[in-house]
Amino acid sequence: MSERQETATAPKPRPGDPPITPELVAEHGLSPEEYARILQILGREPTYTELGVFSALWSEHCGYKNSKALLRALPTEAPWVLQGPGENAGVIDLGDGYAVAFKIESHNHPSAIEPYQGAATGVGGILRDVFTMGARPIAVLDSLRFGPLDSPRVRYLFSGVVKGIGDYANCVGIPNIGGEVYFEDAYEGNPLVNAMAIGLMRTEDLIRAEASGPGNPIMVVGARTGRDGIHGATFASEELQEGSEARRPQVQVGDPFTEKLLLEASLELIRSGHIVGIQDMGAAGLASSSSEMAARAGTGVDIDTALVPTREPGMTPYEILLSESQERMLVVAKAGHEEEVRRILEKWELEAAVIGRVTDDGMYRVRENGVVVCEIPGEQLVKGCPVYVREGVESEDAQRRRAFDPLELEPSRAMEDPTAVLVRLLASPNIASKRWVHEQYDTTVRTSTVVPPGGDAGVIRVRGTRKGIAATVDCNGRYVFLNPRRGAMIAVAEAARNLVCVGARPRAVTDNLNFGNPLKPEVYYQMREAVAGLAEACRAFGVPVVSGNVSLYNESPAGAIYPTPVVGMVGVLDDVERHLRAGFRDPGDAILLLGRNTAELGGSEYLKVVHGLVAGDVPAVDLEAEKALQEAVLELARAGLLRSAHDCAEGGLVVCLAESALADPERPLGCEVRLSDDLPPAALFFGEAQGRIVVSCAPEDVERVLETARRHGVPAARIGTVGEPGGLFIVEGAGRRIEAAAADLADAYHHALPRIMEQAVAAGE
């Protein structure tokens, strides 16, 4: 150890370091202004190592330089929030001595290039974020976006990502409880892979990622450091382009088996009392974890890269600091407890090495065999990154599309056969059953899954209590594209509605802000408006944002993705026995609609599938009406009056009814529904008006359900009756009639995705 050595002079270039030129600075993703700031902070030219460290910490991925100013608008506090943004994960109080940690994170760029490893390591990283808070991961969810499935490349990405997510989480033994998948042209060159993890802990086990206590040893534990993923954080902060394939070596490789050992070892370490802080070595690896832990504690660090166990000899400090090798943790132990830490790691067949000490001088100091190669004021490194507020201007394309009135197309010829339209919508990959995905994920391991993927939200019971935890991920990027502010509000409202539909009260949010290049005014406009929409809706529902992730530069040569602020929301059921499901249950049950049908068709799946249009303004959101609706359904759920509840979303009311009727592929149910609204047929059947939930109840409870809705000021009406297994699915309204055998609809709905993917296999892909 070399912590006693003095640094008499500034670090000098190592032999073999390239000279610092404007080109080299630009290659590191730093602007001339940012470089000027670095010169000012250091009072000298940086070494190559220092340039690499600045580049990583000041990347969008670590530094949030283009989003920080906007993010301040988000509400982050509530009495039940134990840990808000800024840590590895957010934490909320569950009661009964338990707390829930959760976070969502993107792995978009790696997955675009190497879908299997990109997605797998995305899951690995988010699991580590949760268990470094002291929580045992109990569930994962995934939010995915791809281009249209008629492209072989897209099918390759889709199946690779799903397999990557599955193989990793299955091996570690964490059930998947929900997710979403959308297929849109805008994601063709730049898919989105967002993974969310939820962990459960005893409240007293909560630990933070702080390097406190000067003199405390800093240890690297877990896997060895290799040359993989160097500068992944910087890579994630630039646009995908021709030649991005050459970035493949920057995609890390995951090892879920080591992760499982690391998980057990970390939880044991945290409970042992031998450590003061722990952080995942994720994006920007050792550089970010060591500097961020020190900055949080207001301390400095002095580490020596020669002490880091490496997979290969000859690695430079630059490489060691910026490697994103997976399944590694940075641990700050209590002084004198190094041996105990090492013993715990050994039990799990993992390595631990002391690489330096916490200091009190606030400097981020790195040595190689005792020689200082990097010395940066730590606070400036972590928090000195420039923050930009840019100009935002809405694109003319979006304005033009939004101004279009889709009702001009109605009544369309297509609606002369609404049954055929329904079949097309049920088979549309955006709506079709995602069983092909879920069946590759272990959903029942840990024996706590009450509502598996495929419903409105997943539900996990909390053993030893009566409680349940529900979670969902939601965002319709097409809506956000057409109307960023309202689209983002809809994402929050829908997430809350989904939780309510399983009987859970919404509690908190983790958000994944996926956007294009923020330097483009139209993209910055989308960001600004979408974040404002998120903030407004989160305030209205009383759900603080406790963690999140920003992924920018999601562009391909074809342009930016749809702005996609994914909302991961967690809710709580006080009595998990009172959970609800989306599927109708018994023939003869009454079907009721809570909420109001409207004449809106903008942004709908109907418009896209039938008319080939992405246009029109998105449905209106009335946050007060939403809240009343959600309170009503929560009260009904608690009273045990409902047999099912399902949110109306893509595809509108009739698709919602069909999803409830067809939920069990082995037992598709018929139903008979009559709608009396005086609305254009397409809007009535397939419009995507917000604030609607279809519920079912026993016939004798109809009056009580209606009365409860009335009391909350929620429009409610009985619209039909659940039919027999294998019966007819009938919906009448606006002078049109849909009639089809439930079995035929079930075939369209449940087999659309497998057919597309299996044809691809048959074609030799």
Partner 1 sequence: MTSTPSVELRVAVVTFPGSNCDHDCYRAAKDVLGAETYFVWHRERDLRDPDVVILPGGFSYGDYLRAGAIARFSPIMAAVRRFAENGGLVLGTCNGFQVLCEAGLLPGALVRNRSLRFVSRWVRLRVENAATPFTNAYREGQVLRIPIAHGEGNYVADEETLERLEAERRVVFRYCDADGRVTDEANPNGSMHGIAGIVNEAGNVLGLMPHPERAVEALLGSTDGAGVFESMRAHVLAGLSAAADAGLGSHSSEPVGRP
**Which residues bind to partner 1, rule: CB under 8 A?**
163, 166-167, 170-173, 255-258, 260-261, 348-349, 438-450, 461, 463, 576-577, 666
Contact predicate 262/282, CB 8 Å: no
CB 39 to partner 1: min, Å: 47
CB 149 to partner 1: min, Å: 17
The residue among 313 and 464 lying less far from partner 1, judged by its C-beta, is: 464
The residue among 287 and 350 lying less far from partner 1, judged by its C-beta, is: 350
CB 460 to partner 1: min, Å: 10
The residue among 233 and 451 lying less far from partner 1, judged by its C-beta, is: 451
E-assigned strands of 552-706? 555-556, 559-560, 564-573, 590-594, 644-647, 669-675, 693-697
CB 162 to partner 1: min, Å: 9
CA pair distance 118, 251, nearest whole angstrom: 6
CA pair distance 564, 147, nearest whole angstrom: 14
Please identify which residue in the block is written with the tokens 């943004």.
Answer: 85
The 3-state DSSP class for residue 327 equals coil
CA distances from 6 to 3, 214, 364, 372, 475 (A): 8, 16, 14, 9, 53
Q: Which of 710, 714, 722 is nearest to 590 (CA)?
A: 722
The residue among 144 and 415 lying less far from partner 1, judged by its C-beta, is: 144
E-assigned strands of 475-544? 505-514
CA distances from 547 to 103, 475, 578 (A): 6, 17, 29
Q: Which of 580, 607, 512 is nearest to 90 (CA)?
A: 512
The residue among 418 and 429 lying less far from partner 1, judged by its C-beta, is: 429
CA pair distance 124, 254, nearest whole angstrom: 7
CA 182, chain centre distance (Å)? 14
The residue among 56 and 157 lying less far from partner 1, judged by its C-beta, is: 157
CB 510 to partner 1: min, Å: 25
The 3-state DSSP class for residue 318 equals helix
CB 443 to partner 1: min, Å: 6
CB 113 to partner 1: min, Å: 22
Residues carrying an active site annotation: 61, 107
The residue among 166 and 506 lying less far from partner 1, judged by its C-beta, is: 166
Per residue in 163-176, is it b (16+ CB within 10 Å) or e — as a string? ebbbbbbbbbebbb
- Sign of the torsion formed by the C-alpha atoms of 83, 87, 90 and 91: negative
CA pair distance 159, 626, nearest whole angstrom: 36
Q: Which of 397, 627, 360, 675 is nearest to 493 (CA)?
A: 627
CB 173 to partner 1: min, Å: 3
Q: Which amino acid is at 383?
A: K
CA pair distance 101, 92, nearest whole angstrom: 7
The residue among 469 and 576 lying less far from partner 1, judged by its C-beta, is: 576
Q: Which of 463, 464, 436, 432 is nearest to 450 (CA)?
A: 463
